[in-house]
Structure 1
Amino acid sequence: MNQFRKVIRNWEDWEATAGEISAFSGVVEKIFHNEGLPAADIRELPPSTNAVFRVGDYVIKIYAPRQAQMEPEEEQRIERFAMWRAGEAGVPVSEIAAWGCLKDQYDFYYLISRYMEGQPFGEVVRRMGTAEKRRMGARLRDLTDRMNTPCAPFRQVDVLTDPDRQVRWQGYQENFRGDRKNYLEGRCFGEQVFVHGDLNGGNVLVDKEGGIWFLDFAEAVPASALYEQMYVAVELFQMDAALLEGYFPGYSREALAELITDGLLMHDFGGDLVRRYFGGPDGLYTVKDLAGRVRGRLEAGGYSGEIFGRS
């Protein structure tokens, strides 16, 4: 007898269902029984592309099935590899407890990892002073530098040209989209490395000893290190000057603005980030216009570009 009773015909059906404990409780219980893991109350976690729940000392991620126009087996493989790769590089990541596929009404591929106790990065840094933020920024740079190194092929994607990675730029001026395309085609962004791709405030955890953990590697891709560094600056740090000064020691305002602009133009979430932090499409006709907005945001936030001690 199937445990899952909802109907998934497309992405919209999945999106409407993915966060419902009632829809997945039977599926989760059966998976934990099959894996020999202890039963526990199922709790909600922040919304995600996939169905993600806390179950006692574990987190289970159930990948969107093929009926939602996804490739769950491949997504599971990529995330398993990415977590292993980051751990091998010396980055603290959660331990994988189990993975597999439950054949129910749909084929539900899943990944179970240890639940990490801690606070989201954004909540922790709000209580920090300037010097402490700079030290935290430097610690984050050390971790991403360890991780952002050349890697064996693990995902067939071109972050600059794949059509499905241009979607978030729809709605921008045609002039801007054309200039972005020409700019990306005419620049060299250095060697491709392994990047996490989604180091936002919910995916970076600080434990009670002050240790930093990276979560949720679903967006890991091969890309320029700028892809990661921009996202840390904009989405994780929210352009906070002290955090930026720790992470980018000695970068002039002009150099950091160029790095952030380049990263925005290449990142899968770049179009959304420009809307959220840099004024959106209105009045944006060229890459130069975007670079000006980034410089203005750095200046308004008090970023100095000076080198500060890390002790």
Structure 2
Amino acid sequence: MDYFKNQLNQWTDWQAAIAEPGAFEPLIQQIYRSENEPFKTPELVPDSLAAVFAVGATQIAIFPPTSIATHPRDRYQTERFSLTRLARLQVTAPILLHSGFIFDTYQFYYVIYQPLVGISLTEFANTAEPLAKSTLGRQIGTALRKINREVASFNQVDVQVLASQADWNQLGATFAAERQAYLAAHPVAMNRFVHGQLNGTNVIVTTGTVGFQHFQTALQGPWQMELVPLVLQAFGGDPDFLAGLQTTLQSPDLATDLLIGLLWRADGPAQIKAWLGVDTVTLTTLAQKLTRLVKNESEG
């Protein structure tokens, strides 16, 4: 019996199906039955990659099939590996309950977990006092020192290949060459665990601590990559968050680490353009602006 009835020919079909929890309900009910978990009507949880639903006190992430996505098994294994690893490191994250796959109309990989209970960093930042922001920044720095440790390869993502394929020339005629020269002069370890998307949604403030969620795009690479969405997006350059982070992260030069992180990310050009609001930039200008950000200095 096929529990999933929708036809998936392209990515837009997947997105349309996610928007209708009823399309996944029979499939989820069968998965929960097979895992001996109590079933309740699924409620959609926004996610850019997987189909994620709240089912009672648990959540399930269902990964798109190979017919419309590349390496869905890799995404699934990355999520499962990451949740298991953070539990071992005693870093707050969703608790993995079950993982596996189901043969249906398509082969779907899934993970079921106990989600974090708290508010997003973005929500927290809207009302938090400076001391609370600094305290959270310190907690994040402590957690990152545990997370961003050396790790064996756990998926097929090659950071160096992806970064080299990015269009660095869109930032200016000389930027690509400047980037290559800078990275050659600043070698970094390429075997650290990196969540990669620690934005204001994926950092969760829980009771007394901070947690992280949504690990489908985690990878092995320079730990400095972790700082980019955290500082530029989640923190928005807030000096209280930054002060707390630097206290426990123990980076001797946060601006340089941010620059290295940007230059190693496949989305580096887009991140730089979005942050600066310009299409053309030199490496020197970028480094100066990052230094001012970290030091909380005005443009004047």
Normalised by the size of structure 2, how large is the TM-score?
A: 0.88
Structure 1 residue 212, shift from structure 2 partner = 1.6
What does residue 308 of structure 1 align with? none
Structure 1 residue 11, shift from structure 2 partner = 3.0
CA distance change for structure 1 residues 190 and 71 in 2, over 3 Å: closer, same or farther?
closer
What does residue 215 of structure 1 align with? 213
Amino acid at match of 2:285: D
- Asked if the contact 1:119/1:205 (under 8 Å) is kept, the reply is yes
SS of equivalent to 2:262: helix
Amino acid at match of 2:204: L
The 5 Å alignment of 1:206-285 reads 206-207=205-206, 209-249=207-247, 255-280=253-278, 282-284=279-281
What does residue 201 of structure 1 align with? 200
Instruction: Return the alpha-carbon distance in structure 1 between the equivalents of residues 68 and 270 of structure 2.
Output: 22
- Asked if the contact 2:222/2:264 (under 8 Å) is kept, the reply is no
Write the deviation string for residues 230-274 of structure 1: whole angstroms up to 9, x where unpaired: 3321222121111101111399xx933222121111123333322
Structure 1 residue 157, shift from structure 2 partner = 3.0
- Asked if the contact 2:194/2:219 (under 8 Å) is kept, the reply is yes
Instruction: Return the alpha-carbon distance in structure 1 between the equivalents of residues 167 and 12 of structure 2.
Output: 18
SS of equivalent to 1:152: coil
Instruction: Return the alpha-carbon distance in structure 2 between the equivalents of residues 121 and 146 of structure 1.
Output: 19
What does residue 37 of structure 1 align with? 37
CA distance change for structure 1 residues 149 and 204 in 2, over 3 Å: closer, same or farther?
same
Structure 1 residue 226, shift from structure 2 partner = 0.9
Instruction: Return the alpha-carbon distance in structure 1 between the equivalents of residues 21 and 173 of structure 2.
Output: 43
Instruction: Return the alpha-carbon distance in structure 1 between the equivalents of residues 243 and 151 of structure 2.
Output: 28
Amino acid at match of 1:201: G
Q: 2:287 aligns with which of 284, 291, 307?
A: 291
Write the deviation string for residues 5-55 of structure 1: whole angstroms up to 9, x where unpaired: 222223343334334313212221221122111111211112321111111
Instruction: Return the alpha-carbon distance in structure 2 between the equivalents of residues 19 and 145 of structure 1.
Output: 37
Structure 1 residue 158, shift from structure 2 partner = 2.8
- Asked if the contact 1:240/1:301 (under 8 Å) is kept, the reply is no
Higher mean Cα deviation, 77-86 or 291-300? 291-300
Q: Gaps (5+ residues) in structure 1?
A: 304-311
- Asked if the contact 2:200/2:233 (under 8 Å) is kept, the reply is yes
Write the deviation string for residues 150-195 of structure 1: whole angstroms up to 9, x where unpaired: 12221233313336x7447585444323433443344302353112
What does residue 73 of structure 1 align with? 73
- Asked if the contact 1:64/1:72 (under 8 Å) is kept, the reply is yes
Instruction: Return the alpha-carbon distance in structure 1 between the equivalents of residues 32 and 123 of structure 2.
Output: 32
Amino acid at match of 2:157: V
Instruction: Return the alpha-carbon distance in structure 2 between the equivalents of residues 83 and 30 of structure 1.
Output: 24
Write the deviation string for residues 78-133 of structure 1: whole angstroms up to 9, x where unpaired: 21111111221120122111111111111111111013221112211322222221
Instruction: Return the alpha-carbon distance in structure 2 between the equivalents of residues 18 and 289 of structure 1.
Output: 42
Amino acid at match of 2:283: V
Instruction: Return the alpha-carbon distance in structure 1 between the equivalents of residues 271 and 133 of structure 2.
Output: 23
CA distance change for structure 1 residues 64 and 175 in 2, over 3 Å: closer, same or farther?
farther
1:184 aligns with 2:211: no
- Asked if the contact 1:239/1:301 (under 8 Å) is kept, the reply is no
Amino acid at match of 1:193: R
CA distance change for structure 1 residues 210 and 272 in 2, over 3 Å: closer, same or farther?
farther
Instruction: Return the alpha-carbon distance in structure 2 between the equivalents of residues 168 and 12 of structure 1.
Output: 26
Amino acid at match of 1:275: K
Instruction: Return the alpha-carbon distance in structure 2 between the equivalents of residues 119 and 161 of structure 1.
Output: 36
Amino acid at match of 1:137: G
CA distance change for structure 1 residues 275 and 54 in 2, over 3 Å: closer, same or farther?
farther
The 5 Å alignment of 1:115-130 reads 115-130=115-130
CA RMSD of aligned residues (A): 2.7
Normalised by the size of structure 1, how large is the TM-score?
A: 0.85
The 5 Å alignment of 1:169-180 reads 171-180=170-179
What does residue 145 of structure 1 align with? 145
How many residues matched? 298
Amino acid at match of 2:70: M
